A and B are shown apart, each in its own frame.
Chain A
Amino acid sequence: MSRLLEISDLRVEFATRNGPVEALKGVSLSVGVGETLGIVGESGSGKSVTAFCVMRLLDRAGRIAGGHIRFRGEDITRAGRRVLAPLRGAAMSMIFQNPRAALNPIRPVGLQIADVLRAHESISAREARERAVALLEAVRIRDPVARLAAYPHELSGGMCQRVMIAMAIACEPSLLIADEPTTGLDVTTQKTVMDLLAETTARRGMAMLLITHDLGLAAQYCGRIAVMEQGRVVEEAPPARLFGTPGHAYTRRLVAASPRRDSTVASLVGAPEPQPMPLRPRQPLLEVRELGKRFGTAAAVDGVSFHLDAGESLGLVGESGSGKSTISRLVCRLLDPSEGSIRFDGEEIGAIPAGRFHRSPYRRAIQLVFQDHGESLNPRFSAFDSIADPLRRLLGLRDGAGLRARVEEAAERVGLPGDLLGRFPHQLSGGQKARVGIARAIAAGPRLLVLDEPTAALDVSVQAVVLHLLDRLRRESGLAYLFVSHDLNVVRMMCERTIVLQTGKLVEEGRSEVLFAAPRASYTAELLAAIPHFAPEEGDARARAAVAG
């Protein structure tokens, strides 16, 4: 098989304030005509940098320090604009993470597709328009003629990514690079977008370079997978072999840390299974009845009822727009409900205005762990101050040995080394910031922790450690969790009971192991079926089916 793209011994340096930093340390990869190669790895592994090198989209600070990139046998490592311009978009093109930002916000999508067509072919505006309609149809956008005039902000994230795909395939390139194409999209949208990509590339004989942090996704859609770690390719193999008998230690860790249908929190980090929690007497903690929240005329949450016992963990799952985040904010009393009641510990707290809840004695009993651990820490607060903040404000502790002891205790419980307490958020890693956020939430001694997608922004190996930590905390201290996530596997592992939401309404509720094994609602089944997974044989079969189809 002739190689379409050949990368050999590629080295890239980034100029930083502390001198050059090597981002790629000799990467060699190749993609054949019509082949799909996956590159997996965690943040900082260099997978995106590799793709940007091929397209020559590195920003000013980045520099190719050595090695070669050959496309169709031609060396394009140092090719100028003149050589690249006809290649980019026409022979190789790329789609990106965060599709809405990747489209020009103030230009109708039809014109953006036409821009690509007219950059490579001398056709009239009218022809370009007709071709754009055909392309939108090809990426299965309903009513394509009407959508031509739409702006990106009027389309959903999945639709934006389809438009992006339409632009990328407009001039029939032979290589498509997809850089985390479905990160941030709902699981069902992810499935439709990925199926569309697989089918399109197969039908048009295009090769695809799929860059992802999601091993399941790579396994399901790629014929071959390269694992990258810190600027190097550590292993390259077909999915079945990679996941069946991973050769490199890093691959083994990565595979182990990725949640699967049968994994448990302990198995992710290779820890022994904890003792099952002893049966405890039922002691209701949170009782939500007929909860509703309207924004304008649209109901974000519509008549949702559930309850939570002390020490129990309840998962809230659903796609974007399902109302799961709104419910978490209502329960945290950051939002006022439009109707219904929220009873905590037998007391009605839904009636206390959100603006005044911080003065309520229940504020310290209900605490929140946020999704973005970096953004939710005050950049001017050291880790110590962040953890001490609720103690100062809610418990009225003054600076001194007492406060210091409480902060250190909280830090110890989340496994944050004491010498990191003096550091500021930008001096901490993602996992450390997550620990600070959790320590802050448990510092004031809450009884209910609301976790809003606590691991969505973390790499899988860090996610595994944080999930293990959260699970241990709950077992040790009898905290109750309201766990919001779009990741069904995570919820299944973390929560005893699960609630499935769709457009603000409760669809299904049940014990997690039952609900996930045998969902009653068709929506739940649909969500479960959309999760990419790497049962190896099955993944291979699907890839083959996609190519054949």
Chain B
Amino acid sequence: MRGIAGRAGRRFLSSLPALLGVLVFTFLLMRVLPGDPAIFFASGPNAGQAEIEDIRRRMGLDKPVPEQLLLYLRDVATGNLGRSMTTGQPVLNDLRGRLPASLELTFCALLIALVLAVPLGILAALRPGSLLDHGVRMLCTLGVCVPTFVSGLLLIYVLYYLLGIAPDPTGRIDIFASQPPTVTGFLLVDAALAGDWEAWWAAASQLVLPACTMALFVLAPLARMTRASMLAVLTSDFVRTGEALGLSRRRVILVYALRNALLPVITIMGIVFSTMLGANVLVEKVFSWPGVASYALDALLSSDYAPVQGFVLLMASIFVLVNLVVDLLYGLADPRVSIG
């Protein structure tokens, strides 16, 4: 176990250069983008040159770019991600408040996607070319082709507007429900900890629609990967051994084939998770979800440098972390692999 921890530590250290690269790259990218934040944040369209210059000085934009970069790196190193011009709050606080919302949504979506995708992938692989296989392929294609804002709106239209089953699709919890005391920031966990099952139900029912929307989008890579890897494993020698020695079909499929087939799915899962966290800004927008992605988009549109840079750094760190976890999981699942 200590060996694994040591290797994980080394792995983390070796990813630090990549993080630094991401930092510098985003910083430079923000500087090349058109739009002058000083003008944007000036009091009005007829603000005087002096006022703009003053804002620019306060934001440190009057210094040469390399110096700005060094100052920025120094700030990041001390844990200061700057202050958002839009919300007026330190970026770190903003992200800290919003990240649990995004994480909760993504985790649930991933869970839903896995629960659907793995059985569908297995079934499709067991009967390749059958009606079921084509059905799964169709569902996957639809999930990928239909943009999340369309599928999200469709779900809202049917389940909220027409049928009235789903609650008002705004935010993480019904505004009239009592908010559980914040411990982890995950509403479902906090509500459960407080024993407030009414709030838990309120939060869960708010979560279902956006999570399903996201799950639908990532169903395809997971189901297709499960199918492909299942197909490969089903023709492998050791599955043939299981068949030849009379193991039950169930055992051959679940213990011999599936466990081996899931190994590549673990890798895909990591990628899917990282992507969902940042890229599903549309879902957050449609459902007014107070997550980090919509926060970053708003900041980007108003040329607010600090939140965007903070967001990209956060995403990069999460990506590194998720990959680390995937490697560790893979090492546990496959005795042949030793991460290093």
Chain A residues with a Cβ under 8 A of chain B? 55, 57, 59, 81, 84-90, 93-94, 96, 98, 101-107, 115-116, 119-120, 151, 153, 164, 167-168, 170-171
Contact = CB atoms under 8 A, between A and B. Distances in A.
A362 B58 CA distance: 68
A116 B240 CA distance: 13
11 contacts: A57-B240, A85-B248, A89-B246, A89-B247, A104-B241, A105-B238, A105-B334, A106-B334, A116-B246, A116-B247, A119-B247
Contacts of A106: 259-260, 263, 333-336
B335 A98 contact: no
B245 A81 contact: no
B244 A101 contact: no
Given A102-B240, A105-B336, A115-B255, A168 B245 contact: yes
B46 interface: no
B244 A115 contact: no
B243 interface: yes
Contacts, number: 84
Nearest to A89: B246
Contacts of A87: 246
A537 B4 CA distance: 59
Contacts of B240: 57, 96, 102
Among the interface residues B243, B245, B248, B249, which one has the most CB atoms of the partner chain A within 10 A? Answer: B245
B184 interface: no
Q: Is the interface of B mostly helix, strand, loop or mixed?
A: helix
Contacts of B248: 85, 119
Given A85-B246, A107-B255, 10 more contacts: A57-B244, A84-B246, A96-B241, A98-B237, A101-B238, A103-B238, A106-B259, A106-B336, A115-B245, A116-B246
Interface of B: 235-238, 240-249, 251, 255-256, 259-260, 263, 333-336
Contacts of A94: 244-245
Nearest to A85: B246
Contacts of A116: 245-247
A429 B226 CA distance: 35
A234 B255 CA distance: 42
A170 to B, nearest CB: 8
Contacts of B336: 105-106, 151, 153
A545 to B, nearest CB: 30
Contact of A115 (B251, B259, B260, B334): B251
A151 B335 contact: yes
B334 to A, nearest CB: 6
A200 to B, nearest CB: 16
A88 B334 contact: no
B338 to A, nearest CB: 11
- Going nearest first, the 6 A-B pairs with the smallest beta carbon separation are A89-B246, A89-B245, A88-B246, A101-B237, A94-B244, A104-B238
A59 B256 CA distance: 18
A98 B243 CA distance: 17
Contacts of B335: 105-106, 151, 153
Nearest to B336: A153
B241 A164 contact: yes
B246 to A, nearest CB: 3
Given A104-B238, A151-B336, A88 B260 contact: no
B243 A57 contact: yes
A71 to B, nearest CB: 14
Nearest to B128: A60
Contacts of A151: 335-336
B245 A93 contact: yes
Among the interface residues B240, B249, B251, which one has the most CB atoms of the partner chain A within 10 A? Answer: B240
B250 to A, nearest CB: 11
Nearest to B238: A104
Nearest to A88: B246
Among the interface residues A55, A101, A105, A171, which one has the most CB atoms of the partner chain B within 10 A? Answer: A105
A173 B306 CA distance: 73
Contacts of B244: 55, 57, 88-89, 93-94, 96
Contacts of A170: 245
Nearest to A167: B245
Contacts of A89: 244-247
A86 B238 contact: no
A104 B251 CA distance: 12
A57 B238 CA distance: 12
A105 B242 CA distance: 13
A90 B259 CA distance: 25
